[in-house]
Amino acid sequence: MIEPARTVDQVLAELEELRARDLPTHGGRTLAYVYDSGVAEADELGRRALAMYGSTNGLDPTAFPSLLHMESDLIATARRLFHGDDEVVGSVTSGGTESILLAVKTARDAAGVDDPVLIVPTTIHAAFHKACHYFGVDRIAVPVDPHTFRADPVAMAAAMDEHAGRVVLVAASAPSYAHGVIDPIEEIAGHTRERGLRFHVDACIGGWVLPWAGVHQSWDFAVDGVTSLSADLHKYAYTPKGVSLLLHATPELRRHQFFASADWPGYTMLNATVQSTKSGGPLAAAWAVVRYLGDEGYARLVRTALDGTTALVAGVAEIEHLQVVVPPDSTLVAISADDSCDVFTICDLMLERGWFVQPQMGFAGGPATMHVSLSAATAASVPDFLDALAAAVATAVERGPIVVDEDLRAAAESLDPATLDDDAFAGLLQVAGLAGDTGAVEVPAQMAPVNALLDVAPPRLREALLTAFLDHLTR
Ligand SMILES: *Cc1c(COP(=O)(O)O)cnc(C)c1O
């Protein structure tokens, strides 16, 4: 069968219909994945810039000087915001993960040691795990303080010494995604400086918040010893998806980020980032929105989001059975529940009420939690959110905590994913509730039982099961 041509109106109608099944990106009720300024003009401007530059190609900055110009402007803005001096250089990437991949790769290649090691707190974003996996770097994850969930600088220094000669990079967060707290950047930098090590600050989610938040600690290039920093624009700069920044303290530190190959009959490939052909759309959109909002705009949006966060934290404290895991330093909140109910049930009930809160599994003895990334557009609805949350908790308490079948729990705890073949995974997906009776993989209406089962599974099995899920979903 051939694919017939359709009219513009038909295709647009189809796009609208498909979109209607997604989580809303605007309106302030989706509390992870998307960030909403609530400024309609900024959104419209971003969309128009995205469309205007969607077909340009950042592959060759001499062919598209507009892109080089906009990239330089964004780096200059970031350098100022993050207290960098004139030596600071940077690149626009497609997202936080790409910025982090490049930071790790650059450090690894610059060090040129046989068995490279990355030292991070256990709360570091999983993008660093991916970087280690892709680039053959050993990740040493150092437990964080169990009460503050912040990195432990003394333990990290001990890890640096234990792996002396192999450490290519040390990294920490400002703030961490799961708990929203800033690691003690100055103390860690003291240890990396003393040992001449590179130190990356992951400000992917805090980069466009903290400069206006009046935080009491230094976390950026103001700290002597910070050698690179990542900051996403497609989060709290409220720009369309596909854009992040990676900065290095000096051109020398950046050198191994570049890739060139003249060893073929085509053009000499010369790339600063992982992508080669890359759309200028996200860059142009980010440039446009950052110029439109300006420092004043961001100061106002940050104040709004932080006031909303404070109100949310205070409100959660009033709801019996719930607890904010740690007072947040920014706009991210982790909420746990006591034994009378399940956070996974609460997440499902919130979704029924039109609020998406993101379930986070228990980790390293810590409880399962609900994650909230609070945007400026959410702040005004915090009282509504708290009402919905209180109602969801009451219902979740009536239902009681989810009890995972003992046999299932035992199986989950003892299964070695390395021994499972495709059929075994298909069976497991069915048992876990991620596949129907026919074996067809589907997204269940109620995620809570699935999440509760995954929560008792060790991380390796969680990864394997969800990978099998995605694999089957995309077959
Ligand atoms: C979002 C995030 C990342 C990864 O960024 P993506 O844009 O999702 O690839 C890395 N670190 C932190 C702290 C983040 O919040």
Helix locations, 372-458, DSSP H:
376-379, 382-399, 406-414, 422-432, 448-456
Instruction: Say how many Å lie between the CA of residue 125 and the centre of ligand 1.
Output: 7
pLDDT tops 90 at residue 130: yes
Separation of CA 287 and ligand 1 centre (Å)? 20
Measuring from atom 12 of ligand 1, which residue has the nearest CA? 204
Q: Which atom of ligand 1 is nearest to the CA of 100?
A: 10
Q: Which residue has the tokens 């051939």?
A: 2
**Which atom of ligand 1 is closest in space to residue 125's alpha carbon?**
11
Q: What percent of the chain has pLDDT over 70?
A: 100
Per-residue pLDDT at 375 exceeds 80:
yes
The rounded Å distance from CA 33 to ligand 1 centre is 10
The predicted-structure confidence for 37-64, as pLDDT tens digits, reads as follows: 999 999 999 999 999 999 999 999 899 9
Per-residue pLDDT at 438 exceeds 80:
no
Q: What is the DSSP code string of 259-326?
A: EEE--SSS--EEESSS-SS-BSHHHHHHHHHHHHHHHHHHHHHHHHHHHHHHHHHHHHHTSTTEEESS
DSSP labels, 184-240: -HHHHHHHHHHHT--EEEE-TTTTTTGGGTT-SS--STTSTT--EEEEESTTTT---
Q: Atom 6 (ligand 1): residue with closest C-alpha?
A: 96
- Predicted confidence (pLDDT) at residue 344 exceeds the cutoff of 90: yes
For the CA of 232, the closest atom of ligand 1 is 7
Q: Read off the pTM.
A: 0.96
User: Which pLDDT does position 426 carry in this prediction?
Assistant: 82
Q: How many residues does the chain have?
A: 475
> Tell me, what's the pLDDT at 468?
85
pLDDT average, residue stretch 272-279: 96
Domains belonging to the chain, first-starting first, are 48-289 (3.40.640.10), 406-473 (no CATH)
pLDDT at 202: 98
Query: How far does residue 16's CA lie from ligand 1's centre (Å)?
Result: 28
For residue 431, the model assigns a pLDDT of 79
Q: What percent of the chain has pLDDT over 90?
A: 84
Tell me: pLDDT of 423 over 90.
no
pLDDT of res. 436: 79
pLDDT in tens, 317-339: 999 999 999 999 999 999 999 99
Pocket test for ligand 1, best of 177, 358, 373 (most atoms within 8 A of CB): 177
Closest ligand 1 atom to residue 234 Cα is 7
Find the 63 Cα to ligand 1 centroid distance in Å.
30
CA of 26 to the centre of ligand 1 (A): 20
- Assign 210 a pLDDT band (cuts: 50, 70, 90): very high
Cα–Cα distances (Å) from 426 to 121, 187, 355, 434, 467, in that order, read: 35, 48, 31, 9, 11
pLDDT above 80: residue 439: no
- Which residue out of 204, 209, 238, 358 has the highest number of ligand 1 atoms within 8 Å of its CB and is therefore the one to mutate? 204
What is the model's pLDDT at position 398? 97
Confidence at 407, pLDDT banded by 50, 70, 90? confident
For the chain, give the mean pLDDT. 95
Dihedral, CA atoms, 69, 72, 77, 80, nearest 10 degrees?
A: -140
| Alpha carbon of 66 to ligand 1 centroid (Å) | 27
How many Å apart are CA 315 and CA 305, to the nearest integer? 15
Residue 415 has pLDDT above 90, yes or no: no
64-121 pLDDT, tens digit per residue, is: 999 999 999 999 999 999 999 999 999 999 999 999 999 999 999 999 999 999 999 9
Mean pLDDT of 167-175: 98
pLDDT for the residue 437: 75
pLDDT at site 365: 87
pLDDT band (50, 70, 90) for residue 235: very high
Say how many Å lie between the CA of residue 246 and the centre of ligand 1.
12
Question: E strand or H helix at 98, and its extent?
Answer: helix 96-111
pLDDT confidence of residue 54: 97
DSSP state of 401: P
pLDDT of residue 167: 98
Nearest to 241 by CA among 33, 37, 38, 76: 33
Nearest-atom index, ligand 1, CA of 98: 9
Measured from CB, residues less than 6 Å from any atom of ligand 1 are 95-97, 100, 125, 127, 173, 177, 202, 204-205, 232, 244
Cα–ligand 1 centroid distance for 96 (angstroms):
4
Residue 90: per-residue pLDDT:
98
C-alpha 5 – ligand 1 centre gap (Å): 39
**Ligand 1 nearest-atom number relative to CA 95:** 7
